[in-house]
Copies of this chain bind each other. A is one copy, B any other.
Amino acid sequence: MPNSSPALDEVDHHLLGLLQRDSGRTLRELGDIVALSPSAVKRRIDRYRKHGVIARQVTLLDPIHLPTVLLAVCLVTLERESSRHQQAFRKRLLDATEVQQIYDVSGDWDYVVVLACSGMPHHTEVAHRLFNEAPNVRRYTTLFVLDPVRTSGALPTRAPNT
Contacts and interface: CB of A to CB of B under 8 A. Distances in A.
Interface residues of A, number: 73
Interface in A37-79: 51-66, 68-69, 71, 73, 75
Interface in A111-162: 112, 114, 116-119, 122, 141-160
User: How many copies make up the complex?
Assistant: 2
Given A56-B60, A104-B149, A108-B143, 14 more contacts: A19-B58, A54-B60, A54-B62, A55-B60, A57-B59, A58-B60, A97-B156, A99-B153, A101-B152, A102-B150, A103-B143, A103-B147, A106-B146, A122-B159
Contact of A90 (B5, B149, B151, B160): B149
A159 B119 contact: yes
Contact of A105 (B23, B119, B146): B146
B155 A66 contact: yes
Interface in A8-22: 16, 19-22
